[in-house]
């Protein structure tokens, strides 16, 4: 049976972050189950969302509570459980690919995540964070380009991929061409003069993208919805088309992450460009009861060899588990539906679920050679 196979599949969570280290009160927990960075208004609760209901439905039983337990009961039980180990192990993930570039000190590192989960963990290096680090070490602007290359060489020695958040910092409507050295130096000068810090200059961001693409490792891009910082229409992956054409000869594989509500556009890009792949990670988790409906849309144009699984979890380990649990449920539901309506064979359904949840990532990231 398909759902038995999918439930037993050792997933590769190819884009994830650490789990939060300490306890969380209600305010702290509610703030971590929304993409908003604003305080939750007093007249609402973030539990009143698809993600909130999914936590009460799928996580509560792991804490010994009935499904749909109240938020208060849930948080009370959570406070007395070893939640990180519990949920990380329940996720059924063989390999976590960990983006360490977002508030890394607040959450478990790569090694700690491996230890808590009993899984393998590999690092994904965030490009913007590396340039920001270089700026704190190198006072001579002219030396930054070489310093960045050296830094990426060091950092990617053991890493498995790179990540860009240009969608957050600017948008995909940047000039797709590689910037000249002169343009980069001018932009670095401007950045240093304003005190460096957070990189948001489009010249620097696309220089980072090009520099990253030249490393050869798979390059992950945050696409579509996310936190309050972005402008959604500028995170449409279709805007990347010309840049994708320009980097195609480098041979680097590009991975579009999450993609909602542009997942059909992302699937189109994966359809026409051999080097483009996609997941619906963060999306699957946030849409909860609607995960099957959304995954099905991604399955319209995407070649089955291009689909990946991720949770994009950051913070409460419930999210590391829930990403996997909702993906398993949704994929089984969608593919079972295709079989039931007579369009797919049961064998194809098993095969495609396995590609999506595991085998495509093993191939793309060379996990069998680690």
Q: Among residues 87, 260, 309, 365, which is the contact residue for a copy of itself, using CB under 8 A?
A: 260
Q: Strands 276-279 and 120-126: what pairing?
A: unpaired
334/301 Cα distance (integer angstroms): 15
Binding-site string for a copy of itself from residue 286 to residue 305, where x marks contact by CB under 8 A and - marks none: xxxxx--xx-xx-xxxxxxx
Residue range at the interface with a copy of itself (CB under 8 A); choices 79-87, 149-157, 202-210, 231-239: 231-239
Q: Which is nearer to a copy of itself, 29 or 268 (CB)?
A: 268
Span interacting with a copy of itself, options 138-146, 152-160, 161-169, 285-293, rule CB under 8 A: 285-293
CB of 177 to a copy of itself, least distance (A): 15
CB 127 within 8 A of CB 117: no
Nearest distance from residue 329's CB to a copy of itself, in Å? 9
Torsion of CA 59, 65, 69, 73, to 10 degrees: -100
Binding to a copy of itself by residue 233, rule CB under 8 A?
yes
Residue span binding a copy of itself (CB under 8 A) among the ranges 21-29, 49-57, 93-101, 152-160: 49-57
269 binds a copy of itself (CB under 8 A): yes
Q: How far is the CB of 226 from a copy of itself (least distance, A)?
A: 9
Site for a copy of itself in 92-151 (CB under 8 A): none
Q: How many residues bind a copy of itself (CB under 8 A)?
A: 70
Separation of alpha carbons 353 and 370, rounded Å = 23
Residue 238 Cβ vs a copy of itself, minimum distance, rounded to whole Å: 4
Smallest separation (angstroms) from a copy of itself to the CB of 311:
17
Indicate whether 318 belongs to the interface with a copy of itself (CB under 8 A): no
Give the residue, chosen from 15, 57, 258, 358, that forms a contact with a copy of itself under the rule CB under 8 A: 57
Written as six digits, the tokens of 185 are 């130096």
Q: How far is the CB of 297 from a copy of itself (least distance, A)?
A: 8
- Beta strand pairing call for 276-279 and 307-308: parallel
Min CB(78)–a copy of itself separation in Å: 19
In the bound state with a copy of itself, the residue whose beta carbon lies nearer, of 67 and 142, is: 67
What residues make contact with a copy of itself under the rule CB under 8 A? 34-41, 43-46, 48-50, 53-54, 57, 67-68, 225, 227-228, 231-233, 236, 238-239, 241-242, 260-261, 264-265, 268-269, 271-274, 286-290, 293-294, 296-297, 299-306, 333, 338, 341-345, 347-348, 352, 355, 363
């Amino acid at each position: 049976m398909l759902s038995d196979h999918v439930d037993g599949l050792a997933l590769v969570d190819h884009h994830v972050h650490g789990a939060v280290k300490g306890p969380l009160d209600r305010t702290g927990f509610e703030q971590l189950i929304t993409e908003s960075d604003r305080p939750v208004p007093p007249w609402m609760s973030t539990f009143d969302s698809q993600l909130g209901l999914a936590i009460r439905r799928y996580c509560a039983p792991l804490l010994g509570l009935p499904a749909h337990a109240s938020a208060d009961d849930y948080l009370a039980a959570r406070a007395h459980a070893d939640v990180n180990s519990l949920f990380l192990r329940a996720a059924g993930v063989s390999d976590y690919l960990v983006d360490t570039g977002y508030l890394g000190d607040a959450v478990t590192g790569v090694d700690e995540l491996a230890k808590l989960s009993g899984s393998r963990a590999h690092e994904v290096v965030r490009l913007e964070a590396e340039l920001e680090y270089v700026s704190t070490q190198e006072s001579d602007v002219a030396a930054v380009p070489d310093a960045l290359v050296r830094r990426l060489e060091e950092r990617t020695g053991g890493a498995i991929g790179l990540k860009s958040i240009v969608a957050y910092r600017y948008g995909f409507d940047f000039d797709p061409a590689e910037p000249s050295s002169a343009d980069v130096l001018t932009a670095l000068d401007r950045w240093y003069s304003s005190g460096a810090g957070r990189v948001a200059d489009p010249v620097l961001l696309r220089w980072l993208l090009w520099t990253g693409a030249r490393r050869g490792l798979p390059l992950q891009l945050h696409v579509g919805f996310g936190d309050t910082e972005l402008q959604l229409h500028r995170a449409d992956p279709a805007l990347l088309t010309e840049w994708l054409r320009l980097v195609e000869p480098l041979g680097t594989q590009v991975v579009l992450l999450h993609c909602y509500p542009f997942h059909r556009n992302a699937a189109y890009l994966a359809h026409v460009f051999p080097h483009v792949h996609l997941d619906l990670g963060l999306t699957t988790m946030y849409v909860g009861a609607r995960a099957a409906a959304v995954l099905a849309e991604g399955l319209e144009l995407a070649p089955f060899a291009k689909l990946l699984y991720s949770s994009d979890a950051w913070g409460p380990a419930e999210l590391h588990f829930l990403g996997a649990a909702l993906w398993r449920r949704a994929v089984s539901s969608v593919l079972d539906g295709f079989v039931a309506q007579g369009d797919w064979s049961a064998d194809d359904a098993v095969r495609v679920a396995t590609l999506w949840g595991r085998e495509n990532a093993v191939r793309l990231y060379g996990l069998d050679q680690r």
